[in-house]
Structure 1
Amino acid sequence: MGAVSAADRRPKQDRSRATRQRLLEAAVACLAEHGWAGSTVSVVAERAGVSRGAAQHHFPTREDLFTAAVEYVAEERSTALAALFPQGGEGPAGDRRAVVAALVGLYTGPLFRAALHLWVAASNEDQLRPRVTELEARVGRESHRMAVELLGADESRPGVRETVQGFLDMARGLGLATLLTDDSARRERVVAQWAALLDEALG
């Protein structure tokens, strides 16, 4: 029997990547809808349309699956957001208010809800806590880096770094408010005010 060629292996690798992506997306959706307690590997596998064994082949533990899922979707959204503003807040793709609104959008919707469930679970589970703490640190650094780039902020100026971080903390707070009620009207006013404040602070 001859050796398997690279061309023969490629379809299998493509299927494996597609399965992994379906599992990651299903994990975030389950976590957002059912919380940590209701999101088992079996539930995610069923939603993704794969067997439990296939899910465990890609992610041996539940913690592996959900931390990878939140990180994956965060990276995907960051990439999509950067593509919307290829020249930052000063480019023709939009003004600083549009950038502020888009950054606030990172903290609303299913991804933020899923991440919040993961954080709450980590606060009570010793096995999960260090992994989520590390994940949150990485996502936080990337969010800050992206905000600095898109807002055109010069962090060599005194107070600019703290201003950007304060904005991101505010955005997270708006995300929490949205979990319980439709806070879109107030959010629009806050976004407009923060855009004006950032224009003044960042120049």
Structure 2
Amino acid sequence: MSSTTRTPQADRTRAMRQRLLEATVEVLVERGFSGTSTTLVSERAGVSRGAQLHHFPTKNDLVVAAVEHLTERRGAELAQTLATVPRGAGRTKAVVRVLGDHFTSPVFAAALELWVAARTDATLLAAVAPLEQRVGREAHRLTVDALGVDEQRPGDRELVQATLDLVRGLGLAATITDDTRRRTRILDRWAATLDAQLGAR
């Protein structure tokens, strides 16, 4: 078989996997983990059950792969967005708002479904825990870079972690009700606190 024949097949396989992963996140957000099934996902993606099972034999395989894939893509988008935030006055507020938006995305909602389900599912926890640790480390690194934090200074690492804990908590609240104005006020006040704390050192 020639390479010109293999390449379109590889492209089709990648496209099919992409549809499956994106459909999985959509169904997770709409129906939660317990309401997500491989049948629903394959129907949403327009992929045969046989093809879906070939690539992802179990529901856990599918949902973990989907959240990992889209979390990585979302992380790349976060890095790109943070890179465009201008230096100077107002930077901290802009960075904190970008982080706030990141943790209210559909991917965050899908990941949250996995975290809750993993609490009582040892197999799922074994797959989700390393993913969450990796994602957490990357978010921490991006925040340190964006805020220009020197983690050698006492207390600065804790300020970064408090920032991430805050935006995650607000993201969790946003899954229940849209409280954008309140969230913005809180984020802006925290940004002012960060400026005062980091600028005084």
Query: Is structure 2 residue 74 aligned with structure 1 residue 98?
Result: no
Query: Is structure 2 residue 59 aligned with structure 1 residue 56?
Result: no
2:15 aligns with 18
Please point out which of 64, 69, 83 is paired with 2:66: 69
Percentage identity across aligned positions? Answer: 53
Contact 1:89 1:151 in 2 (8 A): no
Alignment length (residue pairs):
199
- Cα offset, 1:73, TM superposition: 1.1
1:150 aligns with 146
Please point out which of 146, 157, 163 is paired with 1:161: 157
Structure 2 distance, partners of 1:9, 1:82, is 34
Contact 1:24 1:69 in 2 (8 A): yes
- SS of 2:119's equivalent in the other structure is helix
Given the two structures, how large is their TM-score scaled by the length of structure 2? 0.92
Given the two structures, how large is their TM-score scaled by the length of structure 1? 0.91
Q: Which runs of 5+ in 2 are unaligned?
A: none
Structure 2 distance, partners of 1:185, 1:88, is 21
1:30 aligns with 27
- Cα distance per residue 1:103-159 (max 9 Å; x no partner): 111211311211111111111112211111121111111111111122222212111
Q: Which runs of 5+ in 1 are unaligned?
A: none
Runs of 4+ in 1 over 6 A off after TM superposition: none
1:184 aligns with 180
Alignment RMSD (CA, Å): 1.8
Alignment of 1:123-138 (within 5 A): 123-138=119-134
Contact 1:32 1:114 in 2 (8 A): yes
Structure 1 distance, partners of 2:129, 2:155, is 26
Query: Is structure 2 residue 116 aligned with structure 1 residue 120?
Result: yes
Please point out which of 79, 83, 86 is paired with 1:86: 83
Give the partner amino acid of 2:53. Answer: Q
